[in-house]
């Protein structure tokens, strides 16, 4: 199947506007407690499957890797938590995972596995997050290489402060919604910023910060929180005036 580069949004097709999500179980042999919950506004962590693809495959292959899940009662809409999604994870994890917030990094975040295209991690000293993609080989302000970040999320366990995801998720509306969304992004590799800069600009414009890419640090600004923080202050990054990300 063709790789999903960017998931198109429609006002008629949103997470709030559908009763059905899809669980992808392709990677459960690698991470038994993990499943991607694919929604109209959230692709799978490998970047290969969106809601339309999952629905089409599920209808064609009802015993295949994609299973429809009714959302059920909303338990925390701001963080992206629904009753039946929780029940699905309780079942596949034999009770180890009791709740999942699809839109949160810090509170019962989604699970991931080794196929994550990117990993986002909290940078408490900068009151924001960094996102590191698979192709980046250098060091990061969090003291992790991409490989080390992947080790943290690859097993399918929930690790508050760390999530694996598709690159396209960075500019999807509900990404880190519980923590303030895209405006929390303070560091990413320069090459990745160049690749998706136009998409970041488009999303940031809607948030009232059209010059956000210029405010996001990369390895040329620093690879420690101590060296990145002066850059963020100089540029006036919005994360510095947001509420503390660690509460």
Give the number of residues written for the chain: 247
* pLDDT tens-place values along the chain, 247 residues long: 434 334 444 445 899 999 999 999 998 888 999 999 999 999 999 999 999 999 999 999 999 999 999 999 999 999 999 999 999 999 999 999 999 999 999 999 999 999 999 999 999 999 999 999 999 999 999 899 999 999 999 999 999 999 999 999 999 989 999 999 999 999 999 999 999 999 999 999 999 999 999 999 999 999 999 999 999 999 999 999 999 999 7
Beta-sheet strand order (sheet of 20-24): 36-38, 20-24, 66-70
The model's pTM = 0.92
pLDDT at 29: 85
- Cβ 81 vs Cβ 105: under 8 Å: no
CA dist., res. 116 & res. 171, Å (int): 16
Class of domain 20-241: alpha beta
Domain parsing of the chain, residue ranges: 20-241
Beta-sheet strands, E only, within 5-50: 20-24, 36-38
- Cβ 104 vs Cβ 88: under 8 Å: no
């Amino acid at each position: 199947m063709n790789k999903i580069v960017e998931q198109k949004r429609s006002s008629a097709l949103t997470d709030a506007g559908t009763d059905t999500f899809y669980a992808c179980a392709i990677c459960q042999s690698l991470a038994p407690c993990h499943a991607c919950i694919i929604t109209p506004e959230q692709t799978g962590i490998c970047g290969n499957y969106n809601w339309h693809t999952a629905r089409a495959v599920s209808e064609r292959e009802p015993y295949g890797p994609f299973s429809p899940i009714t959302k059920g009662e909303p338990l925390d809409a701001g963080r992206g938590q629904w009753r039946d999604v929780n029940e699905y994870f309780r079942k596949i994890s034999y009770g180890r995972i009791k709740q999942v917030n699809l839109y949160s990094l810090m509170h019962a975040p989604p699970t991931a596995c080794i196929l994550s295209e990117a990993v986002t991690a909290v940078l408490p000293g900068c009151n924001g997050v960094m996102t590191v993609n698979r192709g980046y080989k250098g060091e990061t302000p969090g003291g992790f290489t991409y490989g080390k970040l992947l080790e943290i999320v690859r097993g399918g366990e929930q690790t508050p402060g760390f999530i694996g995801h598709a690159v396209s998720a960075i500019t999807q509306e509900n990404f880190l919604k519980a923590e303030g969304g895209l405006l929390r992004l303070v560091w990413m590799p320069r090459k990745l910023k160049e690749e998706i800069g136009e998409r970041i600009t488009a999303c940031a414009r809607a948030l009232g910060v059209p010059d956000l890419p210029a405010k996001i640090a990369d390895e040329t600004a620093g690879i420690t929180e101590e060296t990145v923080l002066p850059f963020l202050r100089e540029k006036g990054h919005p994360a510095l005036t947001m509420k503390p990300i660690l509460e």
